[in-house]
A and B are shown apart, each in its own frame.
Chain A
Amino acid sequence: MVLEMLNPDPKPATESLYEKRQAVFPKAVDGRFRRFKWLVMILTLGVYYLTPWLRWDRGPYAPDQAVLVDMANRRFYMFGIEIWPHEFYFVAGMLIMAGIGLFVITSAVGRAWCGYACPQTVWTDLFQHVDRFVDGDRNAQMRLEAAPWGPQKIARRAVKWTIYLAISFWTGGAWIMYFADAPTLTREFWSGEAAGVAYATVGVLTATTFLLGGFMREQVCVYMCPWPRIQTAMLDEKSLIVTYKDWRGEPRGSVKKAEKNPGGVGDCVDCNQCVNVCPTGYDIRNGPDIRCITCALCIDACDSVMAQVGRPRGLIDYATLDDCKIEREGGHARPVTRALFHTRTLVYVGVWSAIGLALLFALGTRTHIDLTVQKDRNPPYTVQPSGEIRNDYTIKLRNMENRPRPMEVSLVGLEQGVMWSDDMPRDQAARSLKFNVDADQTRPQRIYVVAPQGTKETSFTFALRATDAEGGGDTNEVRFDAPGDE
């Protein structure tokens, strides 16, 4: 009977273990954090939607789109930077920096990414504004939700979902613009000439935006996203989080109660505004929770209520748990900047900057000219009728500039060797050959190298040099095979 004591009301076997979603109808609010969120939203959406339309002149041999992931030609353009596939470590480095950047932000200001900049948050916020625009604020939305389906509800839902769909479609459409010339792709898209993958991508992203932003919303953050779980491991008592100062607010009571019983009631008037404005529907007064994405809208709501009832702001505020402890014991909270610059944050910033500087250094010193050599290994050498020994190589001259460049390949070492290529006569063999390499291209070239009879197995170097004003070059040491003494 112990079990019955633990669980006095045994659940019937058919009851679902899944909790049905409690719909959230956040109330409109104004305040400093709300205004900051507007700013971030305009900035992030603006960057996302408009970036592909920025132009950047790269001359006649390269696309003029400022940011372009050119899969077909395997190039990644970002303003003045052009990344080739063999330089993908720059992209990997940027992704690592983005990851550590999240650590920095989390360590300094808690879940600011979740609260302000995460696409899920931004689009959910946008869709909630659409809700308010079509259906009215929280109470009107709740009334409409409870109302039976009638002409008015159908009309409002149709309008709302159409706007959802338009935003979703624009979101999906903007994504593909990063992978092709935006104006061309737009024209092709509407005339039905674009690649099937473009339509499929737009379809999938439209569907996910519609679904995740329009309907799933905070459930993505609470149930689907791994980041909040990781973040809980990264937050500590020195991290800024949105906190309800219970020692100041409790016990809750209305203003009237406080007038009747001065000193017996805390600052919280139990108006529930902090819950009403919360986009995930959480009551911050219950303490820190995974549902709190620290968007700080409850701070705005509470501040305005505190102003109305004439009490100091900050009953709900950004604070570290350490500061809360100090305040609870009657001390004074330290300035917020103390929380921003604690040791762990500085370590993260150091690592982040080190990677950034290393990438910048690599970017600044990378060469735009490259030589790779592959030696024929079957046969390793060929004895010519004259007794000379020939070795064959495939060399690749890479020109990463957006203009054709004249280049010269020379032999260094193998003093008596000469070379020629398969598209020139043998009698023009020389110690150095000139080639023109087209803009932004790799030119493969078959090279024959001969050395006199009796040359022993050795090594030598192919030296590549650009013969224009800019210069630069590359070298590649290779083997020269010869008959042994067998």
Chain B
Amino acid sequence: MANKRIDEPTGIETVGHEWDGIEELNNPLPRWWVISFYLTIIFSIGYIVVYPAIPMLSKATDGLWGWSSRGQLADETARAEAARKPVLDAIAATPVEQIASDPKLLAQAKAGGSAAFKQNCAQCHGSGGKSMPGNGYPNLTDTDWLWGGNVKDIELTLVNGIRSPDHAATRTSLMPSFGKDGILTGAQVNDVAAHVLSLSGKGPANAAGAALFAANCVACHGADGKGLRQFGAPNLTDQVWLYGGEKAQVVASIHKARAGVMPGWSGKLDTATIKMLAVYVHSLGGGEDFTEAAANPPANGTGNAQP
């Protein structure tokens, strides 16, 4: 490039290129910029050596430091779990009925239970614990409990489940399929249903139904129809209907019987999580007092519901 020259107005040398009279001034990049640029190159060499960088067939090179995003996540998870460990250990070591006496532990158990509930229980019981009316999953926010509503009963239900095939100590009972198995005729099932509805004031009394009820149902549901908790037999006199309180739904329940299943959670969840779940479910508004329930075993769950 022989035609380099000094540009007169600016006093700067041109780079020697010329296109139709347009020339370029030789204004080099600022020194600091160039040095920074070289530094980034040097940095990138070190980066390639110590971090995963070059894509290979199945994965990128490992890098000398062995860092990976998956490993970082594992580290952080482990750290978070280590931070939670003292609390979980304390909860696991405390009998579930005594958690309430430690306000700090109680708050942590409720929070932990709330999270575990959304993960494991909400699929059937709903995210607020209310379930859907009449779908067979009990509402956990009311005071109506099939198997007992103090925190210890709830824990037992959680551990062993209900009619859970994997747990020997599971809560279990079996209602006969009165219609399907031919124990009662269709008309008799209708009569029993009418009597059951009359127990909660939803229909007129039915003498034939009452007699059939006394012969077939009182063993589990009690003579007054208020249920028995050792069989998980629901109270038929209240306004809570697990499978619906319309005549047709009650007839269906008697005809083919109902036997809801809940998995037992021991083996799936750890002790602390189950205790936290028990505490959380107990706190939803229907929990019964533990000592009171122990002093007066199976109450019907409606005893203190009247204002």
* A-to-B contact residues, CB < 8 Å: 3-4, 10-13, 376, 378-379, 382-388, 390, 392, 418, 422, 425-427, 429, 448, 450, 453
Contact in complex: A385, B128 (CB < 8 Å) = no
User: Contacting A385 at CB < 8 Å: which of B8, B127, B301?
Assistant: B301
Contacts of B36 in A (CB 8 A): none
User: Contacting A386 at CB < 8 Å: which of B133, B139, B239?
Assistant: B239
Contact in complex: A10, B301 (CB < 8 Å) = no
Contact in complex: A382, B305 (CB < 8 Å) = no
Contacts of B297 in A (CB 8 A): none
- Contacts A379-B129, A426-B305, A448-B285 hold; do A385 and B9 have CB atoms under 8 A apart? no
Contact in complex: A13, B304 (CB < 8 Å) = no
**Nearest Cβ distance between residue A290 and chain B, in whole angstroms?**
29
| Residues of chain B from 5 to 22 with CB closer than 8 A to chain A in the complex | 8-12
**Nearest Cβ distance between residue B129 and chain A, in whole angstroms?**
7
How many angstroms from the CA of A390 to the CA of B8 in the assembled complex? 91
Quick one: closest A residue to B237, CB to CB? A385
Contact in complex: A385, B144 (CB < 8 Å) = yes
Give the 7 A-B residue pairs with the shortest CB-CB distance, closest first: A378-B128, A379-B130, A385-B238, A387-B239, A385-B144, A385-B302, A382-B141
Contact in complex: A13, B11 (CB < 8 Å) = yes
**Nearest Cβ distance between residue A242 and chain B, in whole angstroms?**
41
Cβ of B240 < 8 Å from any Cβ of A? yes
How many angstroms from the CA of A94 to the CA of B306 in the assembled complex? 55
Cβ of B63 < 8 Å from any Cβ of A? no
**Nearest Cβ distance between residue A418 and chain B, in whole angstroms?**
5
Quick one: closest A residue to B9, CB to CB? A3
User: Would you give 20 A-B contacts (Cβ < 8 Å), ordered by A?
Assistant: A3-B9, A4-B8, A10-B11, A11-B11, A13-B10, A378-B127, A379-B129, A382-B130, A382-B285, A383-B133, A383-B240, A384-B144, A384-B305, A385-B235, A385-B302, A386-B238, A386-B302, A390-B141, A418-B307, A450-B307
Cβ of B142 < 8 Å from any Cβ of A? yes
Contact in complex: B128, A376 (CB < 8 Å) = yes
Contacts of A387 in B (CB 8 A): 238-239
Interface centre among A12, A13, A429 (most CB of B within 10 A): A13
Cβ of B150 < 8 Å from any Cβ of A? no
**Nearest Cβ distance between residue B215 and chain A, in whole angstroms?**
26
How many angstroms from the CA of A384 to the CA of B142 in the assembled complex? 6
**Nearest Cβ distance between residue A179 and chain B, in whole angstroms?**
28
Contacts of A11 in B (CB 8 A): 11
Contacts of B130 in A (CB 8 A): 378-379, 382
Contacts of A422 in B (CB 8 A): 283, 285
Quick one: closest A residue to B25, CB to CB? A13
Cβ of B273 < 8 Å from any Cβ of A? no
Contact in complex: A425, B285 (CB < 8 Å) = no
How many angstroms from the CA of A191 to the CA of B9 in the assembled complex? 66
